[in-house]
Structures are given as C-alpha cells and as structure tokens.
C-alpha cells in the first residue's frame, strides 16, 4: 500500500510540472515549463503587439513606452526556472537601458511576488494583472512559465523565449532589435 501511495505521489508531482498539450493550465500547481527555445519573426511578418499596461506591485500603473524595445517576462515566484533566470534578467535590464523591461506576474500572490522581487533585487516594474496575456493570442503567445516576449521599436512582437532565458541569448536578441 505504501509503495502504491508513493508511486501515485510521484506521478502527481511529475505531472504538475507540465503537460503534453499546448493549453495553459489554470491551476498554479500545474504549468508548462519551456526549454528555452527562441522563436523569432521576420520583420515583414510581425504583428502589432497589444499595449503592455497594468497595475504594478508597488501600487502604481505601468504602460510601455512606444518607440523602445520592450522585454516582457511572464513569471511566478514558485517557478524554479523563473528563479534561475531572475539574476540574468536584472543584469540585462541594467546592460540595456535603451530597452524597457517589465515583468508580468501570473498565478501567484502579491506577497510572494514582492518577496521574489526583493530577494533578486529586481528594479524593473512587475504588472500584477496577467489578463493582458490573452491579447497576445494568435501571435507569439505565452505558452510556458516563464516566457519572455520581445517587442520591437515599432511595437510589433519580434521574438519569444519559451522557458528560462540565458544572458547571452537575450543579449544577442536585444542587440539585434536595437539595431533595426
């Protein structure tokens, strides 16, 4: 009986880390973890991104500035890859002041998010209402936690990293978009 219970617990814990489908689960214990694959869109095929705006962790409101490259990182404090990539994202935000970074909290609490931001020294804003993610459907939509979307200077979705980013990968993408 104990072996069956242990096996069931193992199966349930493994299934909480993802699923084989493409749909986003609504339970915060179930999420799709990407593998860091970068998807880019040629300039002539890009679509206008929805406006990135919403309430922030500090009680203010964030609205993306037009004419700048945007980096929108979707994260949650309970997500291991999100914790792993946080220092690189913070460093990138400092190394690329020409780009505007913003986090989007998903399926998490404000209290946990504030602790995450403090722990990793995140200085860019985080939007607390993830409803804006629905507007990206039909483009390079959020398909994992974490997901990082890059928006070009013309306000068009240019790239997506599904899963944990690396500094070098994002640095290259940001340099390319800055030079367009």
| 22-64: pLDDT as tens digits | 333 333 334 455 678 899 999 999 999 999 999 999 999 999 9
Distance CA 132, CA 138 (A): 13
Does residue 17 have a pLDDT over 90? no
Q: Are 121 and 90 in contact (CB under 8 A)?
A: yes
| 65-112: pLDDT as tens digits | 999 999 999 999 999 999 999 999 999 999 999 999 999 999 999 999
Give the chain's domain count.
Answer: 1
DSSP 8-state secondary structure symbol assigned to residue 139: S
- Give me the CATH number covering residue 110: 3.40.30.10
Q: Are 123 and 100 in contact (CB under 8 A)?
A: no
Print the domain residue range for 140. 2-178
């Amino acid at each position: 009986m104990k072996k069956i219970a242990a096996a069931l617990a193992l199966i349930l814990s493994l299934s909480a880390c993802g699923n084989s489908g493409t749909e986003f689960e609504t339970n915060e214990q179930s999420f799709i973890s990407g593998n860091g694959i970068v998807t880019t869109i040629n300039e002539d095929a890009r679509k206008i991104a929805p406006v990135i705006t919403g309430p922030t962790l500090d009680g203010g409101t964030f609205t993306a500035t037009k004419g700048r490259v945007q980096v929108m990182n979707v994260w949650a404090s309970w997500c291991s890859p999100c914790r792993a990539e946080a220092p690189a994202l913070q460093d990138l935000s400092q190394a690329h002041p020409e780009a505007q970074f913003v986090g989007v909290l998903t399926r998490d609490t404000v209290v946990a998010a504030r602790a995450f931001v403090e722990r990793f020294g995140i200085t860019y804003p985080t939007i607390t209402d993830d409803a804006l993610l629905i507007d990206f459907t039909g483009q390079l939509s959020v398909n994992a936690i974490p997901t990082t979307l890059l928006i070009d200077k013309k306000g068009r979705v240019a790239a997506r990293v599904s899963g944990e980013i690396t500094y070098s990968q994002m640095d290259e993408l940001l340099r390319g978009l800055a030079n367009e």
